[in-house]
Chain A
Amino acid sequence: MKKTLILTTALTGFAFAAGAEEITVMSWGGAYAKSQIEGYHKPFTEKTGVKVISVDADNPATPIKAQVEAGNVTVDVVDVEYPDAVRLCDEGLLEEIDPSILPPGADGTPAEEDFLDGAISDCLVTTIVFSTLYGYDSTKFEGEAPSTIADLFDMEKFPGKRGMRKAPKTTLEMALMADGVAPEDVYEVLETDEGVDRAFAKLDTIKDNVVWWEAGAQPPQLLADGEVVMTTAYNGRLFNAAVGEGQPFVMVYDGQVMDYDGYAIPKGAPNLERALEFLVFATETEQLAEQAKWISYGPARKSSAPFVGLYQDGKTEMGPHMPTSPENLEGALTTDYEFWVDYNTELSERFNAWLAQ
């Protein structure tokens, strides 16, 4: 702690000496970091005069863990996925954030109600919702096109190869929903042995026709190559291929599985005050909506939806492409992190065994 204090003092001193304050924000790079620079960093500098330095990492949770453990923290705010934030928080590597510092939404709703369920955790304030959903190549289906999660598993009605993520998370949930389990009951069913059997039985029906993917860039490629006729994917990737590159891909939001990602502050951040200020600013209604103009990930506040405008191409309305827009939320499921923290070992074992056999 002492070391951190000295470091903090030294860095603050340095910042004053340099005549301008600055904070460092670590994120994932690429189009996603760009959306944050446009949506949060630039407006924050404009408002406060504090310069925001953006640094990238493959998964910011890993370097943050290393920095805090080594007692040499250079990052003030970090963008992490929800389960990583829970884990790092449990290990005491993140500052706890008091939700009362978050302002109410633009329509006056208190912050804790304005944010989606569970979006504010002990150490993390969620900024975006991304989802795993399935999409298909519209040129492959004349006549009736897939429209429900059950269609993903219906080999008779829609023959052809499927792409699926090689992991039990989201795959098992989708299998159960396709088998007729309502989204709100999915985790209750999956907690029982019969429920797990049921999910694997459903997966058995398509096992021979599945191409498994691991990296997020793979599924749009599989679709574009014609290797599969439909595939699960992260919604931002499919949006990018469909709208950004003009591929004939259609996304099906029924049975989508949503995950959270947001901002946290590492223990011993050099500019804690400014970091909190930035975090509060970035998670305001308008700012969340501003980011959503740059990438098709949904803002974590319900009050942001009316503020979401056009994509950067100036003609695509972003609203309908958000996983959180009301018409897409029907039949959607939000990942239960507590469930996966507990069951990941067991279900991964079973999933790996099932795959190998």
Chain B
Amino acid sequence: MSDASTVPDQTGPLKTADGKPLKSALAAAQAHRTRRAFYLVAPLLFFVLITFLLPIGQMLTMSVNNSSFYSWLDRDTGEKIPLMVELREWFDETPAGTEPDEAAYAALVSGLVHARDVKAAGQIGTRINYDVSRTRSLFTKTARKAPKMEPPYKEALLDADEDWANPRLWGAMRNASKAFTIDFYLSALDRTRDDQGNIVKIDEERAVYLLLFKRTLIMSALITFMTLLLGFPIAHLLAILPLRHSNLLMIFVLLPFWTSLLVRTTSWIVLLQSQGVVNDLWVSLGIISDEGRLQMIYNQTGTIIAMTHILLPFMVLPLYSVMRPIDPSYVRAARSLGATSWTAFRRIYLPQTIPGIGAGGLLVFILSVGYYITPALVGGSTGQLISNLIAFHMQNSLNWSLAAALASLLLFCVLLLYWLYDRLVGIDNLKLG
């Protein structure tokens, strides 16, 4: 191609040997290259799309949309059957906070009869029970009686259970019948709605999520700081030792990294528990008395110690990769110009390691924000992170919408921090190894 361009056409624009304009030939070659590159990354793109973006999209949808109050999937036919149709119409026609009239009660009864026919009463009750306690059995029991009810329906329903007059229950049903709701985000932020539908704080004794979000962020920051404190000297030593020795040392860093996470976590239990190795040693050395054994596991201390150890390699490796190529003559030059060793470190060495610190810090922080197994095993009651509650709602309470809302909030937090990092340090300034 370079040959062709050296033989320019005298009159027109530049052309290749076979007579095509150079510009379009170049564009075609470029396009070909881009296509080839795209084919190469296509499998990965496809993989990321299926396993990463799709689930995240689903999670975001689930956090604002829960259709179990108004839609039921028939397993024999695969059809989606709408539930509570008349009641939803009534909700559409009346403003929030309207006192339910006879028409509303009649709609409710016909909805319950239908729900019983298709066996969806349990599903509806479960949905409302997320917002108002003691309502799941209210729905299933009343649905059983509903076919025999006669007008006036208000009286019939209140006869069956006077809880049907509860304005909070009606508010919850109104919210649950909407296709989109922010209620799960409200719950995830320790908020709820009162009888009039206003957003209010939840009872102090039931508020837990904000506290745990705060605790998760603070503990993650602390763990990141600890890994930096411990990892920096190790990485420095690795970088300045001759390769022969540093390779051996590197193995020591990597060996735990290759060991199962579960094994490392349970080893910490063996070491730190009150009848464990560390306490036994201290008692035998007379540092603490037998009665005064320290509680170092099943609390925050345990979580911080175990997670710092487990995440340490994620700090050491990026730091090492940044420190290795730093020329030692810079520091020597600074010293020869009269800088103290501290000044030389602070003004010459440290600034050059910033990309490594940033990368390691971001890695460790983001990993620890979402950490689950270690706090579940050694966290006890005070060392729990928000991920443990997300798991609780996935596996135990089966309130997947709330789990999704909590997870989305966590994702937003991380994205916000990433953005902040980009503004403050600059993401180009990141070196992952």
Does B associate with A?
Answer: yes
Q: Which residue of A lies closest to B270 (CB)?
A: A225
Q: Is B321 an interface residue (CB 8 A)?
A: no
**Stretch from A253-261, A275-283, A313-321, A340-348 contacting the other chain:** A340-348
* Residue among B119, B122, B130, B376 with the highest chain A CB neighbour number at 10 A: B122
- The count of residues in chain A whose C-beta lies closer than 8 Å to any C-beta of chain B is 39
A356 to B392, CA, bound (A): 14
Of A68, A93, A341, A352, which contacts B137 at CB under 8 A?
Answer: A341
**Are B274 and A338 in touch, CB under 8 angstroms?**
no
Q: Is the CB of B382 within 8 A of A90?
A: no
In the complex formed, the residue of B with least CB distance to A191 is B134
Quick check: A338 and B137 within 8 Å, CB to CB?
A: yes
Q: How far is the CA of A352 from the CA of B396 in the complex (A)?
A: 13
Assess whether B75 is in contact with A353, with CB atoms less than 8 Å apart.
no
Per a CB cutoff under 8 Å, which of B135, B205, B384 touches A354?
Answer: B205
Report the Cα distance A30→B376, complex, angstroms: 25
Given A343-B133, A345-B133, the answer on whether A212 and B376 have CB atoms closer than 8 Å is no
Q: Are A352 and B389 in contact (CB under 8 A)?
A: yes
Determine if A91 and B123 form an interchain contact, defined as CB atoms under 8 angstroms apart: yes
The docked-state distance in angstroms from the alpha carbon of A207 to that of B76 is 50
Q: Chain A 1-29, CB within 8 Å of chain B: the 1/0 string?
A: 11010000000000000000000000000
B121 interface contact, C-beta 8 A: yes
Interface of chain A residues 101 through 150 with chain B (CB within 8 A): none
Are A356 and B212 in contact (CB-based, < 8 A)?
A: yes
**B211 on the A face (CB < 8 A):** yes
CA distance A342 to B208 in the complex (A): 20
In the complex the two chains form, is A346's CB within 8 Å of B137's CB? Answer: no
Contact status B298-A356, CB under 8 Å: no
Cross-chain contact B275 with A225 (CB below 8 angstroms): yes
CB atoms of B273 and A69 under 8 A apart: no
- Give complex CA distance A352, B119 in Å: 32
Which residues of chain A from 160 to 188 have any CB-CB distance to chain B below 8 Å in the complex? 161, 166-167
Cβ of B162 to closest chain A Cβ, rounded Å = 15
Q: Is the CB of B75 within 8 A of A356?
A: no
In the docked arrangement, what's the CA distance between A4 and B78, Å? Answer: 13
User: Whole-angstrom distance between the alpha carbons of A344 and B123 in the complex?
Assistant: 15
Partner of B134, one of A4, A343, A356: A343
Known contacts A87-B122, A352-B392, A356-B381, A226 near B211 by CB under 8 Å: no
| Cα-based distance from A352 to B399 in the complex (angstroms) | 15
- Closest Cβ of chain B to A136, distance in Å, is 16
Task: Judge if A100 is at the interface, Cβ distance under 8 Å.
Answer: no
Q: Provided the pairs A342-B134, A345-B399, A346-B133 are in contact, do residues A227 and B273 lie with their beta carbons within 8 angstroms?
A: yes
- B133 with A227: CB separation less than 8 A: no
Distance, CA A343 to CA B129, complexed state (A)? 8
A214 and B377 alpha carbons, distance in the complex (Å): 9
Contact A92 B133 (CB under 8 A): no
Cα A1 to Cα B399 in complex, Å, equals 29
Which residue in chain A gives the minimum CB-CB distance to B388? A352
Q: Interface readout for A232-258 with B: 1 if CB under 8 Å, 0 if not? A: 000000000000000000000000000
Q: Tell whether, in the assembled complex, residue A357 and residue B134 are in contact, meaning their CB atoms are under 8 Å apart.
A: no
Look across to chain A and name the residue whose beta carbon is closest to the beta carbon of B383.
Answer: A356
Q: Is B423 positioned at the interface, with any CB of A under 8 Å from its CB?
A: no
Q: Pick the contact of A345 from B119, B130, B274, B376 — CB < 8 Å?
A: B130
Quick check: A356 and B211 within 8 Å, CB to CB?
Answer: yes
Which residues of chain A come closer than 8 Å to B119, judged between CB atoms?
A: 90-92
| Minimum Cβ distance to chain A for residue B168 (Å) | 13
Report the bound CA distance from A237 to B205 in whole Å: 34
| Interchain CB contact (< 8 A) of A344 among B138, B208, B381, B397 | B397
Q: Does B206 have its Cβ within 8 Å of any Cβ on chain A?
A: yes
By the criterion CB–CB under 8 Å, are A345 and B129 in contact?
yes
Q: Is the CB of A90 within 8 A of B208?
A: no
- Cβ of B344 < 8 Å from any Cβ of A? no
- A69–B130 Cα distance when bound, in Å, is 24
Confirm or deny: B145 has a beta carbon within 8 angstroms of a beta carbon on chain A: no
B62 at interface by CB-CB < 8 Å: no
The yes or no answer to B140 lying at the interface (CB within 8 A) is yes
Q: Does B22 contact A (CB under 8 A)?
A: no
Say yes or no: A211 contacts B380, CB within 8 Å: yes
Counting CB contacts under 8 A, is B136 at the interface? yes
Q: Are B298 and A342 in contact (CB under 8 A)?
A: no
Known contacts A342-B133, A352-B208, A356-B212; decide if A90 and B123 are in contact (CB<8 Å).
yes
Complex contact B397–A212 (CB within 8 A): no
- Closest A-B pairs by Cβ, 7 of them: A90-B122, A353-B208, A92-B119, A346-B133, A355-B381, A226-B275, A1-B76
**Given pairs A69-B75, A207-B381, A226-B275, 17 additional interface contacts (CB within 8 A):** A90-B119, A90-B121, A90-B140, A91-B123, A167-B396, A212-B380, A227-B273, A341-B136, A341-B137, A342-B129, A342-B133, A342-B135, A343-B133, A344-B397, A346-B206, A353-B207, A355-B384
Which residues of B are in contact with A by a Cβ distance under 8 Å?
75-76, 119, 121-123, 129-130, 133-138, 140, 205-208, 211-212, 215, 273-275, 298, 376, 380-382, 384, 389, 392, 396-397, 399
23 contacts between A and B (CB under 8 A): A68-B75, A71-B75, A90-B140, A92-B75, A207-B381, A210-B381, A211-B380, A212-B298, A225-B273, A227-B275, A341-B129, A342-B133, A342-B134, A342-B136, A343-B133, A343-B134, A345-B130, A349-B206, A350-B205, A350-B206, A356-B211, A356-B212, A356-B382
